[in-house]
Structure 1
Amino acid sequence: MTATASEDTTAPAVEGPAHFHHLAEDTLQGLFLHRPEPISQFWDARRLGVALGATLYVPATRPNLAEVISRRFASGVMTMVIDLEDAVADHEEPAAIASAIAAIAELEGTPAGQMLLFVRVRTAEQIETIASLTGGSDVLTGFVIPKFDAHNAIHALQAVRTAGTATGRHLWAMPVLESAAIVHRETRDDQLSLLSSHLDEYRDIVPAVRIGATDMCGLFGIRRDRDLTIYDVRVAADAIASVVNHLGRADGGHVITGPVWEYFADHERRFAPTLRHTPFRDHDAVWFRQELVSRDMDGLLREIALDRANGMNGKTVIHPRHVAPVHALSAVTHEEYHDALDVLATEAGGVARSSYGNKMNEMKPHRNWANRVMDRAAAFGVTNSGISFVDLLTAADVAA
């Protein structure tokens, strides 16, 4: 696939596995016009941020942690976070750190050791400790920084940069925005303006900014129902919109990832399922639609679509079943790809009918969108004509 301006073509050619690597060869040929490219930790920050996809959290105290991570990788998970924070009780912290370090050592030299693997720390001080105890391991991609705000931003980001220098590794930092100062209206704009400046200073080590919607809702005593998306919870939706407005702009902003979807089992419904019958009927997969509805996946699919519509890529997930929907909706369709090619073919501006003959492409207003499509195309591939997210989901389901 042709490189775009967002690629760092001078970076070392160190590559890992690609998204959908768990699917059979004949399945990949049937699904993709252009397959996902092997992910390199030396991609530029924006493209790597897009490539994160579904980021699966696992408690550091999970028994047989390295085995669990390896199993998830084999099922198509490409990004994981070993969690030392909310998922770990206070008295378990020392054991959790030891478990994380042992798992990283055990994954060295294995296929799963090539995935994007982060550690979510409790404090900036843990960054130096974990980086030094892992000995500059290639397995460790970087750190997730919770409760990130203007008060602790520089200290935490500098800790990641210092740890990378000390270990001879390019370690990445993923901040999580979930603090009260960012959510409350009277402090939000000042906080985000300061954070924008701090993040710009450390742009080379920040692939994405994550949103902690569960903590945001918790500030108001809210837990969103599984019949609703996060965008139905106005206080959270307002905060998310402000984050994207300040930090996710096309002219030098950062990748913002979608918040977690926390449900994964059937429940009594008050509203009709939001998943249309037509795409599944057209692909002889009506049975699969019912299966998705029974797993509460229709709400997840709708929220993923709304994440994209609101300027975000990828998503935090807490269940392996959620990975395939995120990746299926991240792949670039044949139509999207050709629209993007048309837009990027000229810098002169103007308007032209799309190759599919169903829309108008405006060359200047749609250019930033087209560049982002190319980042997704590199990470998640371009589907063959006639292939939809239903095909990708069913293929992943069969592989599982």
Structure 2
Amino acid sequence: MKKDISAYGLGATLYMPATRRDIVDTIVTGKIAELRSLVICLEDAVTEQDLPDAMENLKGMLVALSKSKLRHKSVDWPLIFIRPRNAQIGQLVVEEYDLSAVDGFVLPKFTLASLADWSAILAKTHFHWMPTLETEDVFDVNSMQELAASLETHECRGKIIALRIGGNDLMNCVSLRRSREFTLYDGPMGYVIKMLVAIFGSKGFALTAPVCEHIDDHSLLEKELALDLAHGLVGKTAIHPNQIGLIQKALMVSSLDHEDALRIMNSSKAVFKAGGAMCEPATHRRWAKSILDRVHYFGVTQAPSPAAASPTMQVHHR
């Protein structure tokens, strides 16, 4: 079965250290409900002393996944990505590991300077890219404009599913850790995310939202998810299975937005009123397309009537 590779198809992307021994079982048995994509990480989630073990474990996992994939060709697995520690390890993995079960690579500490290295490593492969913006130069508007312009015309453009925003690394650049009381948007990252969306989103790149590291604070996660969507981000990094359902519930589309999107895509009028708001297809069409893409993957939440005593949620998949 050919997988549908889309930025919206990522949903909540679960990061798992390559030292874990249960990753194959998690993938093959579908142990984690609703898991759409995962990243096997060799970078920050693995200490330097554990790297040899992680590399050996990854090699064994990939062989096991390859064999399982051959036995069960119709299996509906989540998208699988590898996050190498650096370009050198990325090249080693590409050249020496069995990657037949892998969909792509998350490229750490991605910069314009590293573009040539990653392009050389992955040029002759089918793998999709998810470069991670997480270095000091992300704070430099000129550097990001230069990177976006280069990626827009580069031969890798068609392979880039989304750019990932590395919130924790970026906070580390300014000697901060995210607050337990405020969303990521209430500090310097609020500016950074707005700037990245303006620069990369305007060139058609999708961006995913940083992780909420306060795993058990679902209220904070829900607040942040609302702001992620308001900024046009398409998915979010997860570090615990209990975040996945919340993230993907947030990615569902309200019935009002769904109706507006359908009207905008199908209307012959230049301007019309719907739901108390102006709809203008010439300026709202890209928004409407993104809404319908979300509906395809996550469905629609049916708003309850005002008289309903106990609101319920209905999901409609296209």
Q: TM-score if structure 1 supplies the norm length?
A: 0.70
Deviations 1:141-177 (A, max 9, x none): 1111111112112321342223x1xxxxx21111111
CA contact (8 A) 1:255 1:313 kept: yes
Distance 1:215 1:66, change over 3 A: same
2:297 pairs, out of 355, 379, 388, with 379
Percent identity between matched residues is: 30
> Paired residue for 2:197?
244
Alignment of 1:176 with 2:139, yes or no, is no
Q: TM-score if structure 2 supplies the norm length?
A: 0.87
Separation of aligned partners in 1, 2:120 and 2:183 = 35
Query: What is the alpha-carbon root mean square deviation over aligned residues?
Result: 2.4
Shift of 1:309: 0.6
1:122 pairs, out of 79, 85, 89, with 85
CA contact (8 A) 1:328 1:392 kept: no
Unaligned runs of 5+ in 1: 1-13, 17-39, 42-47, 165-169, 266-295, 394-400
Shift of 1:194: 1.9
Alignment of 1:203 with 2:157, yes or no, is yes
Alignment of 1:148 with 2:110, yes or no, is yes
Shift of 1:199: 1.9
Separation of aligned partners in 2, 1:383 and 1:264 = 25
Shift of 1:95: 1.9
Separation of aligned partners in 1, 2:301 and 2:61 = 35
Separation of aligned partners in 2, 1:392 and 1:257 = 26
> Paired residue for 1:217?
171
Shift of 1:112: 6.7
Q: Alignment partner of 2:38: what SS?
A: strand
Alignment of 1:230 with 2:184, yes or no, is yes
> Paired residue for 2:286?
368
> Paired residue for 1:339?
260
CA contact (8 A) 2:134 2:169 kept: yes
Distance 1:392 1:140, change over 3 A: farther
What does 1:40-189 align with in structure 2 at a 5 Å threshold? 40-41=4-5, 48-70=6-28, 74-108=32-66, 109=69, 114-137=77-100, 139-162=101-124, 164=125, 170-183=126-139, 188-189=140-141
> Paired residue for 2:146?
194
What does 1:321-332 align with in structure 2 at a 5 Å threshold? 321-332=242-253
Separation of aligned partners in 2, 1:260 and 1:72 = 22
Separation of aligned partners in 1, 2:105 and 2:261 = 33
Shift of 1:361: 1.8
Greater relative CO, 1 or 2 (CA 8 Å, sep 6+): 1
What does 1:240-279 align with in structure 2 at a 5 Å threshold? 240-249=193-202, 252-265=203-216
Separation of aligned partners in 2, 1:136 and 1:335 = 43
Unaligned runs of 5+ in 2: 306-310
Q: Alignment partner of 1:114: what SS?
A: coil
Separation of aligned partners in 2, 1:194 and 1:260 = 26
Separation of aligned partners in 2, 1:340 and 1:93 = 48
Separation of aligned partners in 2, 1:384 and 1:155 = 47
> Paired residue for 1:286?
none
Separation of aligned partners in 1, 2:31 and 2:297 = 16
Aligned residues: 303
Separation of aligned partners in 2, 1:203 and 1:386 = 42
Separation of aligned partners in 1, 2:135 and 2:227 = 23
CA contact (8 A) 1:258 1:314 kept: yes
Shift of 1:227: 1.3
Deviations 1:7-42 (A, max 9, x none): xxxxxxx444xxxxxxxxxxxxxxxxxxxxxxx13x
